[in-house]
Amino acid sequence: MIFLPEKRISERALTVWRISGCINFLIVFLIAGGFIALSIIFKWPVWIIGAILVFLLIYGFLFIYLFPLMRWKRWRYEVREQEIELQHGVFIVKRTLVPMIRVQHVDTQQGPILRKYELATVTVSTAATIHEIPALQLEEAEELRVFISRLARVADEDV
Amino acid sequence: MSEPKKLHPISAVLNALKQLKEMIIPLVAFVVFGSRGSIGGNIILFAGIASIILVLAYGVISWFRYTYRIEENELRIEYGIIVRKKRYIPLERIQSLDLSEGILHRPFGLVKVRVETAGSGGEAEAVLTAVLKEEAIAINNILQDVKNIHAGHFENEEIPPKHEEILYKISGKELLMLASTSGGVGVVLSAVIAFISQFDELIPYEKLFKNIESFYVSGGILFISLLVFIGFFLAWVIAVISTMLKYANFTLKRVDDDFIISRGLLEKRQTTIPLKRVQAVRITENLIRQPLRYASVYIESAGGSGNKDESARVTILPFIKKNKIHDILQSHLEGFISGEVEPAPKRAFIRYCIRGWMMVVPVIIAMLFLLKIWGLLFLLLLPLSAFWSYLVYRDAGWRVDGSQLILTYRSIVKHTVFMSKNKIQSIDMKESYFQRKKNLSTIEATVKSGLGGTGGEVVDLEKADVIKIYSWYSKSVPAVEESPAIEKPEM
């Protein structure tokens, strides 16, 4: 039997993704607003304004509500003695297996929003690939980083 | 050998030529587009000549400023025209010296030496553009001595002679077949087309064709198709000849723990691949070679020069009967076993078809709009695409043998990738919503190649099979024969 990775990422990640969804939406909203203004100035047919509004509504629902939720629900990870397993993806579910001995280095990084919510992104690099765990709690991310780098240092390299 | 030495003066010419090669496109563009503007032709001519003189001067000065020497067990190179640069490479870090000879090298008995290090960044590598052959051999000897001392041999100790074995030498017949079945035609053709489209306005079509047309008014189409045919044929001949020049005398040798490849008629090249840097073996078969049971074999190697045009994929057997590959390589590449692969399940075929159609249907719709009734001809694309999809479907497969994973798939050519477990960097399994409904899954394995990654991806395999591969790779999940589907996450 093949197990699902167990750990979920922090629930605060959901809030962060919603916020960045909002920022994303704001930009689209401004562009759409521009189009609406144009269509009023040049007297385009009314249905164009309607279509833009409907589009905005759907876009907002998807990017602020649905996608972050689906993404959060799908995201799982697990760091074991010998390997890291990740699962993510909204439409295409992707599971990734990275053996500890292949890990070359681990980075944590924070943007302004993540910092406010005390979260961090962990990036695991092998010689050929880069894997990201978004939005872990800060202590957890730090722990993970130390843990992985210690394990990775123990494992002997043969590439 | 501690005196700073200069390269052979011919390298001034080589430097200039290299610079010229990089400048040729902007230069041609400048001349072609410039001549349309209002600027006088003289100015353009002057600018052209000036830049060529500058390039020549650059070549000479950069040759003059480039010195190399071996000092304190380091290869020390100093170069740079305005900014002086020094590059010191410890000899024991040098993996190999790769020699090549261009047309300009040969009359003077010179070689170009590429210094390859194991450095993953591709940082500390150097090129000696032109040195005497004896000089290159002398450097190589010093290098070998240092390595032997490093490996615990003393200077006076008898060094065991190198074990050398020729694994493959291309025969004349193979060379001819290799050249005539290679995809090089396409490259030459597109180069010719690009060239013609660049000089479109310079060719006096009207003058050329006015007279000819009056001769061939009736047979115009015949004449043009004849021209096109001759054009194609010429392109093919050029491609064949250039491929033959490139792969003539192709030899694969094993010397101690390295593969040494030498090839080329006009420009001789020699490449060394330490066996321990081999990450994966890749066999490719194009559409013409596949039915003839011939294939090419490549090695994906780690590190390397990090040069973009010289990828980390190295040809080791350019043209070989497929059933001979195993015998040649088996004893040299650890764990290399070939075998029959497990195909994708029958129900996956329709998904391959749909993927193909998703590409052609927009084309068909666009053509129906543009060409109206004639656009219907493009409906023929549907069965064609289905046929192609069938080929792609037929060539998908996988196999696990002990610690080796084989993935086969078709992009344009058929790929068979052999990867051993301890060289695979990561494995992904992917499922879309539609795949989940059909119990199919995609597997992807990545190995290191050069500075990046490569590998293989096989779409729409039996999910249970993909889980088998996945758990084969996993160190914590015990491998299982029959696995139930992945637990569906609650949504």
Q: How far apart are CA B441 and CA B459, in angstroms?
A: 7
Q: How far apart are CA B313 and CA B305, in angstroms?
A: 12
Same domain, B89 and B102: yes
SS3 at position B310: coil
Who has greater pLDDT, B430 or B146? B430
Nearest by CB to residue A159, choosing from B302, B427, B433, is B302
Who has greater pLDDT, B202 or B135? B135
Contacts of B436 in chain A (CB under 8 A): 93
Q: How far apart are CA A96 and CA A131, in angstroms?
A: 9
Write the CB contacts of B174 (distance below 8 Å, at least 6 apart in sequence): B319, B320
**What residues does B269 pair with on adjacent strands?**
B100, B263
Instruction: Output the DSSP codes for chain A.
Output: --PPP-EEPPTHHHHHHHHHHHHHHHHHHHHHHHHHHHHHHTT--HHHHHHHHHHHHHHHIIIIIIHHHHHHHH-EEEE-SSEEEEEE-SSEEEEEEEEGGGEEEEEEE--HHHHHTTEEEEEEEESS-EEEEEEEEHHHHHHHHHHHHHHHHHSPP--
Please report whether residue A103 resides in a domain. Answer: yes
Provide the residue range defining the domain that includes A16: 8-72
Please say if the pLDDT value at position B193 is more than 90: no
Who has greater pLDDT, B461 or B231? B461
Task: Please give, rounded to a whole number of angstroms, the shortest distance from the CA of A128 to a CA of chain B.
Answer: 4
pLDDT, mean of residues B273-284: 88
CB B89 within 8 A of CB B115: yes
pLDDT, mean of residues B58-73: 88
Same domain, B143 and B279: no
Helices (H), B199-321: 205-216, 220-247, 289-292
**Which domain-ending residue is among B247, B274, B296?**
B247
Same domain, A30 and A98: no
Contacts of B302 in chain A (CB under 8 A): 127, 159
CB B329 within 8 A of CB B314: no
Nearest by CB to residue A3, choosing from B423, B429, B477, is B477
**What residues does B273 pair with on adjacent strands?**
B259
Task: Please give, rounded to a whole number of angstroms, the shortest distance from the CA of B89 to a CA of chain A.
Answer: 21
Nearest by CB to residue A102, choosing from B426, B430, B486, is B426
**Tens digit of pLDDT for each residue in B84-126?**
888 888 887 787 788 888 888 888 888 888 887 765 444 446 8
pLDDT band at B304 (very low <50, low <70, confident <90, very high): low
Residue type, B47: A
Please say if the pLDDT value at position B433 is more than 60: yes
Please say if the pLDDT value at position B331 is more than 90: no
pLDDT, mean of residues B409-437: 92
pLDDT, mean of residues B415-419: 93
Please report whether residue A47 resides in a domain. Answer: yes
- List the one residue out of B119, B129, B162, B164 whose CA is nearest residue B144: B162
* Domain count for chain A: 2
Task: Please give, rounded to a whole number of angstroms, the shortest distance from the CA of A21 to a CA of chain B.
Answer: 20
Please report whether residue A45 resides in a domain. Answer: yes
How much of chain B, in percent, has pLDDT values that exceed 90?
A: 22
Contacts of A81 in chain B (CB under 8 A): 476
Please report whether residue A59 resides in a domain. Answer: yes
List b or e across B251-260, with b for residues whose CB sees 16 or more CB atoms inside 10 angstroms: ebbbeeebbb
pLDDT, mean of residues B138-164: 69
pLDDT, mean of residues B160-172: 82
pLDDT, mean of residues A6-21: 89
Count the alpha carbons within 13 Å of B373 in the hemisphere toward its beta carbon.
0
Write the CB contacts of A13 (distance below 8 Å, at least 6 apart in sequence): A72, A75, A119, A134, A135, A136
| φ, ψ (nearest 5 deg) of residue B129 | -60, -40
Same domain, A81 and A104: yes
Same domain, A33 and A82: no
Please report whether residue A2 resides in a domain. Answer: no
Please say if the pLDDT value at position B415 is more than 70: yes
Give the number of beta-carbon pairs within 8 Å between A and B. Answer: 94
Nearest by CB to residue A159, choosing from B427, B448, B486, is B448
Please say if the pLDDT value at position B282 is more than 90: yes
CB B408 within 8 A of CB B391: no
Distances (CA, A) of B106 to B25, B63, B100, B245, B265: 28, 19, 10, 15, 11
Same domain, A146 and A89: yes
**Which domain-ending residue is among A72, A92, A112?**
A72
Residue type, B207: K
Same domain, B379 and B324: no
B486–A4 C-beta distance less than 8 A: yes
Please report whether residue A40 resides in a domain. Answer: yes
Same domain, B54 and B42: yes
Q: Which residue of chain B comes nearest to A71, CA vs CA?
A: B491
Residue B121 pLDDT: 46
Same domain, B137 and B103: yes
Q: How far apart are CA B246 and CA B179, in angstroms?
A: 9
Provide the residue range defining the domain that includes B365: 347-391
Same domain, B144 and B82: yes
- List the one residue out of B465, B421, B425, B423 whose CA is nearest residue B443: B465
Same domain, B226 and B303: no
Same domain, A149 and A80: yes
B467–A128 C-beta distance less than 8 A: no
Same domain, A60 and A81: no
Please report whether residue B306 resides in a domain. Answer: yes
Please report whether residue B426 resides in a domain. Answer: yes
Domain harbouring A126, CATH code? 2.30.29.30
Same domain, B220 and B265: no
Residues of B with CB under 8 A from a CB of A: 120, 279, 302, 422-433, 436, 446-449, 452-455, 467, 470-471, 473-477, 480, 483-484, 486-487, 489-491
Same domain, A83 and A64: no
Same domain, A96 and A132: yes
* Domain count for chain B: 4
Same domain, B406 and B333: yes
Same domain, B414 and B309: yes
Q: How far apart are CA B394 and CA B458, in angstroms?
A: 12
| φ, ψ (nearest 5 deg) of residue B454 | -150, -175
Same domain, A49 and A83: no
**Tens digit of pLDDT for each residue in A24-33?**
999 999 999 9
Residue B436 backbone class (left: φ over 0; alpha: ψ -120 to 50; beta: rest): alpha
Nearest by CB to residue A126, choosing from B425, B473, B486, is B425
Residue B124 pLDDT: 42
Please report how the helices B41-65 and B10-34 are oriented relative to each other, as an axis angle in degrees rounded to 10. Answer: 160
Same domain, A27 and A68: yes
DSSP state of B265: S
Same domain, A88 and A148: yes
Please report whether residue A49 resides in a domain. Answer: yes
Please report how the helices A46-60 and A12-41 are oriented relative to each other, as an axis angle in degrees rounded to 10. Answer: 170
Same domain, B61 and B126: yes
Lowest mean pLDDT among A126-140, B420-434, B457-471: A126-140
**Tens digit of pLDDT for each residue in A49-62?**
889 999 999 999 99
Q: How far apart are CA A33 and CA A30, in angstroms?
A: 5
Please report whether residue A1 resides in a domain. Answer: no
Q: How many CB atoms lie within 10 A of CB B309?
A: 5
CA angle A72, A75, A78 (to 5 degrees): 140
Same domain, B400 and B387: no
B433–A2 C-beta distance less than 8 A: no
Reported ipTM: 0.82
Same domain, A81 and A148: yes
pLDDT band at B441 (very low <50, low <70, confident <90, very high): very high
Distances (CA, A) of B370 to B43, B359, B376, B378: 46, 18, 11, 11
